[in-house]
Structure 1
Amino acid sequence: MHVMAGVLLDARGHVLLAQRPPGKHLAGLWEFPGGKLDADELAVVGLVRELREELGIEAVVSEPLIRVPWRYGDRSLLLDARMVRRWHGEPMSLEGQALQWCDPAAVDPAMLSPADRPILRALQLPAGYPITPADVPPEAFEAWRRRLVESMEHGLRLALLRFPLWAPGRVRELAAAVLPVARVQGAHLLLSGDVAGALELGNGVGVQLKALQLSSLEERPLPWSQLVGASCHDEAELARASPFADFATLSPVSSTVTHPGATPLGWPAFQSMVEAAAVPVYALGGMTDADCQAARLAGGQGVAGIRGFW
């Protein structure tokens, strides 16, 4: 079943959510408005029709945001989310559903239907995901504290603090030192594999799970208010990530200096794996800001990287 979802953003950057009415599957949970395509109906045409029937507007559909394959019991669906920044008319409830405009950053994923949560995360997450270099010595603590603060003040909204030469406690100290700025700026800092550290530091600090950690999980390791990323290298790991993670990195897409012996996936394989993934996916491995458009065209959230970002 191919289901279209419209991500309507108003002039304030707020997004429109609709509540599933009583008597429907997942009643009471919130979702992005839209509905099922008719047979042989084009995706954009179907979304415009659904928004007309549901909200009474004539929508101007823009770029794709994310496609989410999902299963509810024995039912499978493809939830295809497209951005909508312009429309004619005023959205109103025509099917008995409650409506609300929300700041995307303030929406609790727990209030959404499970298939809609990856759409929210794709809307919340930036296109770039910088990772700190692996060769940074512990003596560079103060330099990196200043660098992170300055970067967040200039727009950095997501970063992985990966310092393999440091003791885990020292990485936590760095995160704690810059956390007040992160919270003011709405930025998220992730620790590499350190779930306990993220729990200790609280909102604004998440965790990037390693593939081995991902394989042993039985439940989400952090509250919804703290981001969980997953390091993935193939389709099976991406499938494993979807119940627990808010997003994933997929690597290596291109050749890298840090892993010269690894065989690159290339963009066609990246696209194929992303199409089967139910979370936003960053391309990792030899990436710079210049590769962001290619990642987006392949269905990714954007790009993650080390040397190309600092």
Structure 2
Amino acid sequence: MRRIHVMAAVIRDADRRILIAKRPDSAHQGGLWEFPGGKLEKGESRHEALRRELREELGIEIDDARPLIGLHHDYPDKHIQLDVWEVSSFRGSAHGAEGQPVLWVRESQLPQFSFPAANQPIVTAAQLPDRYLITPDCNEHELFSGIERAIDSGIQLIQLRQTQLNADQYNELSKQVLARWGAQVTFMLKGESPPTESNTGWHLTAAQLRELVQQPTPVRPLPKGRWLAASCHNAEELQMAEMLEVDFVTLSPVLPTKTHPDALPLGWESAHAMLRRCRLPTYLMGGLTLAELNTAHHAGAQGIAGIRGLWPSSQ
């Protein structure tokens, strides 16, 4: 089987729109939409290949780019290694320099287009932010003021975690939170069953993930279009998350953490090795702060998740 290393780019303009291109009908996976890019040539670095491909295909010059997600996909006749970068700044007017149709679309519009199977995790990664806040156990006043500060700081994805509450208390609190901020950010809820609110996602514990996968016929418990996430701590759980078709995962702990002081940290090298084999957007967590965000990106992660590392100070 042929092995091909392909560079691809999620390119954003000043309005945060994303550029997609249509594959020629005569090409492999012809007629489908894709994220622009092309093959890594012998002797090229990844960044050099990305610059060359986008110059040739779109007539633009990259100013700022960073790794977004790495994927492997087997077709009947070839093995594709997809190396995807996010381009946040470029020079020139992007156009189909090779005659291919191109479109600028909003993140929310991406699911409306047909992409090759290998591109589906990229569609998800392009819609997710690089910070995933998990709320600390605290009283209602501290929680509400903290969420307000987090949203003001640019946080877009929040897991509502309040382990001190019973199920009824948690459900009542989540209703208040969603009524106040549900239209501004995406909330991932916890619990023994999927949340009923259509504008929320569900974050599974590792135990819930294992239980669902071990069913005689594992079925994704939320419809596509609503985020489903899972907490993972090793390669086996990452594989389970792929089997259940979750949208994204957290992988922890990367470093020692006060929340779970007895947990053996994975370390950066082990986390990077796991991410090379994982097809899902992954947030690394455990002892991480914004200072490690760039390191997480270059390890192959979507970004970082955390409680203490992301919870905004009241000062």
TM-score range, shorter chain: 0.7 to 0.9
Cα pair distance change 1:293/1:107, threshold 3 Å: same
Decide whether aligned partners of structure 1 residues 82 and 233 sit closer, same or farther in structure 2, where only a CA change above 3 A counts. same
The structure-2 alpha-carbon separation of the partners of 1:58 and 1:181, relative to structure 1 and needing over 3 Å to count, comes to: same
TM-score normalized by the length of structure 1: 0.84
Asked whether the 8 Å contact 1:8–1:84 carries over to 2, the reply is yes
Which segments of 5 or more consecutive residues in structure 2 lack a partner in the other structure? none
Matches within 5 A, 1:241-280: 241-242=241-242, 244-280=245-281
Q: Tell me the equivalent position of 1:208.
A: 203
Native 8 Å contact 1:275 1:299 kept in 2:
yes
Change (3 A) 1:141 1:277: same
2:183 match: 184
Q: How far apart in 1 are the matches of 2:233 and 2:76? A: 27
Corresponding residue for residue 291 of structure 1: 292
Q: Which amino acid aligns with 1:168?
A: A
Which residue, 15, 19, 23 being the options, matches 1:20?
A: 23
Counterpart of 2:222, as a letter, is: L
Alpha-carbon displacement from aligned partner over 1:183-212 (angstroms, at most 9, x marks no partner): 432x11111255521xx1012x11112223
**CA distance in 1: counterparts of 2:278 and 2:241, whole angstroms:** 9
Identify which of 8, 12, 34 aligns with 1:9. Answer: 12
Find the aligned partners of 1:88 and 1:146 in 2 and give their Cα distance: 40
In the alignment, the residues of structure 1 paired with residue 163 and residue 220 of structure 2 have an alpha-carbon distance, to the nearest angstrom, of 24
Structure 1 residue runs of 5 or longer lacking an equivalent are none
Structure 2: distance between partners of 1:307 and 1:83: 27
Does residue 1:160 correspond to 2:162, yes or no?
Answer: no
Aligned equivalents of 1:173, 1:109: Cα separation in 2: 34
**Aligned Cα root-mean-square deviation (Å):** 2.7
Q: Could you state the TM-score of these two structures normalised by the residue count of structure 2?
A: 0.83
TM-superposed CA distance for 1:161, in Å, is: 1.3
* Matched residue count: 302
Mapped to 1, the partners of 2:203 and 2:24 lie a distance apart of: 36
Q: Is the 8 A contact 2:111 2:123 kept in 1?
A: no
Q: Could you tell me whether the CA contact under 8 Å between 2:190 and 2:203 is conserved in 1?
A: yes
Identity level (%) = 40
Offset at residue 52 of structure 1 (A): 3.6
CA distance in 2, matches of 1:36, 1:13: 26
| Offset, 1:89 | 4.2
Distance 1:174 1:107, change over 3 A: farther
Give the 3-state SS of the residue equivalent to 1:107 in structure 2: helix
In 2 relative to 1, CA 89–283 (structure 1 residues): closer, same or farther, beyond 3 Å? closer
Q: Is the 8 A contact 1:8 1:15 kept in 2?
A: yes
Does structure 2 conserve the Cα–Cα contact (< 8 Å) formed by 1:18 and 1:98?
yes
